[in-house]
Structure 1
Amino acid sequence: MIRDSGLGTRDSPPSRIAAQRQFLRFGLVGVLNTALDFALFILFYGVLGLAPQLANTLAFWLAASNSYWLNQRWTFAASQPSLGAYGRFLLFNAGGLLISSLLLHWLGPVIGMAWAKAIAIGLGFLWNFTLSKHFVFARPKP
């Protein structure tokens, strides 16, 4: 009997390798877009003088949009971009941002902001990967 790995694929060796490849690619796209988010924040806030909240929001949405495009094309190799999938991706990323912010608020005073941020990044990554794989870029069942 073949069992589900939790990554949404069967545990046969080829599909497990494919799932691991997706997970790694999703992580690489995440690292790239985190750097993009940070660079855009510095541009908007530090160079252009926008308010920090506005600079952060603009940087986040632009980086998330880039993340959608890269994940759609490279990580999940979905057939065609769609407005519905893009909307779901942004909604799920906003949910991840909210969860991350709440974790910082609740855990930061208890364990320190650096540890709280590390936990938030890990949980946010799992949240975004799972929802992206199963609800944004899911392939139709045969």
Structure 2
Amino acid sequence: MRDTIRQAISFGLVGVLNTAIGFGTIVLAQTVFGLPPVVSNILGYAAGLTNSFFMNRAITFRGASRDLAAAIRFLVAFAIAYGANLAVLLGLLSVAPEAALAWQAVAMIVYTGVFFVLSKFYVFRVAP
């Protein structure tokens, strides 16, 4: 349990950096370049993805597999978490499109929870 708490805190701290990168990209794409919310969201998550993999592998889930299979599992987990993010975003946009930036934040929270669980138990699992 203690290890899970440490991992959750570390995942959260790494996530702060990824969130700054991702949300900053989303805001820039949406407000400066006038891109639609979904395109902005895709760009934001693409910007933080590589950083997330390497920092979480090195810091959060030390001792986890460092092979190509871990990178592939990371991409699968990302796709699932991002799918949850996008479903939430699209659902909320259909209700109140004028609150697009707020909905981006809500969708990011869903993404983070799903991605942590998948990272711990699927991507960076330590072999017995």
Contact 2:64/2:125 (CA < 8 Å) preserved in 1? no
2:108 paired residue number: 121
Contact 1:89/1:132 (CA < 8 Å) preserved in 2? yes
- Percent of counterpart pairs with the same letter? 32
One-letter amino acid of the counterpart of residue 63, structure 1: G
Matched, 1:136 2:92: no
- Structure 2: runs of 5 or more not aligned: none
Give 1 or 2: higher helix fraction: 2
2:75 paired residue number: 90
Measured on the aligned residues, the alpha-carbon RMSD in Å equals 3.0
Q: Which has the higher contact order (CA 8 A, sep 6+)?
A: 2
Matches within 5 A, 1:36-115: 36-40=21-25, 42=28, 53=39, 57-79=42-64, 81-108=66-93, 109=95, 114=102
Larger Rg: 1
TM-score by length of 2: 0.73
Q: Distance in 2 between matches of 1:60 and 1:20?
A: 25
Q: Distance in 1 between matches of 2:43 and 2:110?
A: 23
Contact 1:38/1:59 (CA < 8 Å) preserved in 2? yes
Q: Distance in 2 between matches of 1:57 and 1:123?
A: 15
Greater shift after overlay, 89-98 or 101-110?
Answer: 101-110
1:9 paired residue number: none
